[in-house]
Structure 1
Amino acid sequence: MLSRFYSYITARDLQNEMRGLSNYLLSCCVNTLLQTLSATWELSGLLERWDSAGVRADSHNVPLELKKVLSAMKSDHRHNTPHRDFLNCLDRNNFRLCVQHDADEVFLSILNFMQQQMDDKALALEIQKLYKVSVETRLQCLECSCIQTQTSFQLSLHLHVKEDHNSLEGCISSFLEDQELRGRDCCFCAQCERKTPSKRDVKLLSLPRILCMHLKRYRSSRGGIRKLDCRVTFPETFDFSEIARGGFSRDFAQVSWERVQGTYGKYYGGTAYMLMYRRSSKEEGRQPEFSG
C-alpha cells in the first residue's frame, strides 16, 4: 500500500523565526525555494551531518553554499540572511541569475548539484530519497495487447492543470487515470514493430517523506507560451490512498492558512506553482499521511 497521510509544510515546521531574503536580480523564485528548504528540517539535518571540511571552498560547490545559507537562516533574525554567495554559486554553475526560472526547475537543479558535488555519496542519496517517488508505467498496445512495463523514479509529480477550476486531489487523480495514446502520440510496439495506438497507465509504487508536486501552469500557444491563472485549491492535509482509489511547501512566511489559500490562483492574484507536503510522523512504519 502507498503512504497515506500528508500535511502541508509551513512556518510551523521551523524551530526559530523566519529570516528575510533580499531579492537580487531575478532571485525571487530561488528565495521562495530557500524558505521552503529551511522549513524542511529533514534536509537541514542531513546537510548538518555532512563533513564538508575537505571540500574545496572555491565558490562552485552548490551543496556547500546551501548548507551555509540554511545555517545562516537559523541564526540572528534581526537582519536579512546574506545569500548572495549561494546565488552566485548557482550562476557559476550555469544556472543564470538574470533569467526567470520555474520553481520546479530550480528545485530539481539543486538536487542534481547535490548528487554531483557532494563527496559523501551515501548522504547525497539519502537527500534524494527524501523526495523520491517510485513510478511504474505500463503501456498496452491496443492492436496486439502486448504490454511493456517500465519502473522509474521522479523527484516531483508533474500535474496537469485544466483551464477552469481545479483541485489538487483532482489533478492527482487525472495523473493516475488511464490514457489512450493515438495519432501522433502513438508509441512503438516491439511485437507489431511499428507505432500503434496504446493505453498507458501509471502506478505509484512508493511515496517519499517529502512529496513535491509541480502544477503545470504553462501551455504552448501560437508559437509562444502562456500562463494559466486558474484556481487550483489544495488542502492542508490529505490522505493519498483515498485519492489513489478514486512542495509546495506552504508559504514559508509566518502567515495564516487562510492567506496561503490566496495562492490558489485567480486573475491577477497569487498563483501556486509548486506544493510540498510532509508525510505524517504518526504514520511512520505504517502507511503515512501527507500534509502540506
Structure 2
Amino acid sequence: MGSNYSKMTSRQYYRSASFDYVRGLLNYSLSCCVNAVLQSFSATTELLDILNKWHPSDGTDERNVPWQLRNALEFMRDKSHPAPHEDFLKCLYHQAIRPFTQHDADEIFHLILNLSQEQMSDAAVAQEIRSLYEIKVETQVVCSKCKFIHRAPSSLFSLPLAICEGENTLEGCINSFFQLQKLRDSEKFNCERCDEKQPSTHEVKLVSLPPILCVHLKRFRNNGFTRKLFNKVTFPETFSNDIFAAGQSENADGLKADECYSLYAVVVHIGPAMFGHYTAFIRPNQDRWYYADDSCVQPVLIIILYAVFRDTAYLLLYRKKSLNSSG
C-alpha cells in the first residue's frame, strides 16, 4: 500500500536513530491505517489510563475490542514484545474490518472508539472514553417565515473540516464549518410549525470541546469516483479557544479563555486516494516528535511536518491544556 514510496520519503528527510519509547508496528495485511491510528492512541496517554480502570469480572474475550486495545497499547510500551498489536488486528478482522483492504483513518478512528464503548462492561469507563473525545454541537435551522428555531443536539468524535482548492488554514476551515447557510429552492426545510417546506437558514453551533480534539481534514471527494485533494492546510502547533469564537452556541460550555490546544499527533495519508499509505507523527512527551511509518520509527523536527506534509495531513490531534502551562 504505497509502502516503498513512504519509506523512500522518510529516508530522504530523517536520520536513522533508535528509540525505545515509540514502538514501530509491523504491517500485517495492509494494516498501515490501523497502525497509524494506534500510534495516535499510544500518544494519547489519557486513553490507556482510562482503559486501565476497567477490571472485567467475566474473563477476557479475544474478540473484545477494548480489551485488545488496552493490551496493544500496553505492549507498545514494552520493547521486548515481538508483536504488540497482532491480536488487536485479529480482533478487528474478526468483526469489523477486512484485511488486505484500504481503509479510511477517520472511519477506523471512529470504529475503534465506538466498539470500545459498546463492548465495555463498565459503563462508567465507557463514558470516560466518550468524554475524552466527544465534541458536542447543536444544529440550528431557523424558518425564514415563522422564525421558529429547530434545534438538534449531536456529538462527534472528530471535527470534519472541508478543505478548498488552493491554500487553506485551520482557522479558515473551522469558520467554514460553522458558517451560516441559506436553504432555498430544493433545499427548503420542512418547518414543523408551518407544516410545509420553507426557506431557512442552517447553522452548526459549538456547545463543548473535549480534552482531546481530533480534527479530520476531508481530503477525499467522491463524485462517482474517489479523488484526493492535495491542497495545503496550514495548522498551528498551539491555538486558543478563540479560534471557535464565531461558532459558539449561546449555551456553550467549557470554552475557557485560559485554555488552549496543543498538537501532539498527526495521521498522514501519502499517495493517491486508492493506493495510498498511512503514517503518523506523534509527540509522546513534550520534548520530541517522532515519525512512525509502520515498523520504522525515527525522531523528527516539527518543521519537517509543516514543510513537507501540509498537503497530506489527514487527522490532527490536539490536547487541551492551560495557557499557563509549558510544553
Normalising by structure 1, report the TM-score. 0.84
1:105 maps to 107
2:70 maps to 67
Matches within 5 A, 1:116-127: 116-127=118-129
How far 1:130 sits from its partner (Å)?
0.3
**2:100 is the alignment partner of 1:54:** no
2:8 maps to none
Q: Distance in 2 between matches of 1:282 and 1:238?
A: 10
1:163 to 162, 165, 176: 165
How far 1:197 sits from its partner (Å)?
2.1
Matches within 5 A, 1:27-46: 27-46=31-50
Q: Name the SS for the 2:25 alignment partner.
A: coil
Q: Distance in 2 between matches of 1:183 and 1:88?
A: 49
Matches within 5 A, 1:221-232: 221=223, 223-232=224-233
Q: Distance in 2 between matches of 1:37 and 1:125?
A: 17
Amino acid at match of 1:207: L
Matches within 5 A, 1:64-103: 64-76=67-79, 81-103=83-105
**1:43-80: CA deviations, max 9, x gaps?**
011111211353333x2101111111100111116x76
Q: Name the SS for the 1:273 alignment partner.
A: strand
Q: Which has the higher contact order (CA 8 A, sep 6+)?
A: 1
Matches within 5 A, 1:1-20: 17-20=21-24
**2:247 is the alignment partner of 1:206:** no
Q: Distance in 1 between matches of 2:133 and 2:20?
A: 24
For the 8 Å contact 2:167–2:231, the answer to whether it is kept is yes
Q: Distance in 1 between matches of 2:187 and 2:100?
A: 36
1:238 maps to 239
Q: Distance in 1 between matches of 2:184 and 2:133?
A: 33
How far 1:16 sits from its partner (Å)?
6.3
2:300 maps to 255
**1:93-137: CA deviations, max 9, x gaps?**
132222211111001111111111111111011011001111121
Q: Distance in 2 between matches of 1:81 and 1:167?
A: 39
1:11 maps to none
Q: Distance in 1 between matches of 2:193 and 2:246?
A: 32
For the 8 Å contact 2:43–2:264, the answer to whether it is kept is no
Q: Against the structure 1 CA distance between its residues 75 and 263, is the aligned structure 2 distance closer, same or farther, given a 3 Å change threshold?
A: same
Q: Name the SS for the 2:313 alignment partner.
A: coil
Structure 1 stretch displaced more, 118-127 or 187-196:
187-196
Q: Against the structure 1 CA distance between its residues 231 and 146, is the aligned structure 2 distance closer, same or farther, given a 3 Å change threshold?
A: same
Q: Name the SS for the 1:109 alignment partner.
A: helix
How far 1:227 sits from its partner (Å)?
1.0
Q: Distance in 2 between matches of 1:137 and 1:123?
A: 28
Q: Name the SS for the 1:264 alignment partner.
A: coil
How far 1:196 sits from its partner (Å)?
2.3
1:187 maps to 189
Q: Distance in 1 between matches of 2:199 and 2:78?
A: 58
Amino acid at match of 2:310: Y
How far 1:282 sits from its partner (Å)?
5.3
Q: Name the SS for the 1:280 alignment partner.
A: strand
Q: Distance in 2 between matches of 1:80 and 1:241?
A: 45
In structure 1, stretches of 5+ residues that fail to align are: 1-14, 266-270
Q: Against the structure 1 CA distance between its residues 20 and 53, is the aligned structure 2 distance closer, same or farther, given a 3 Å change threshold?
A: farther
Question: Which has the larger strand fraction?
Answer: 2
How far 1:283 sits from its partner (Å)?
6.9
Q: Distance in 2 between matches of 1:137 and 1:182?
A: 17
Q: Against the structure 1 CA distance between its residues 16 and 120, is the aligned structure 2 distance closer, same or farther, given a 3 Å change threshold?
A: farther
For the 8 Å contact 1:20–1:81, the answer to whether it is kept is no
Normalising by structure 2, report the TM-score. 0.75
Q: Distance in 1 between matches of 2:227 and 2:302?
A: 29
Q: Distance in 2 between matches of 1:38 and 1:56?
A: 22
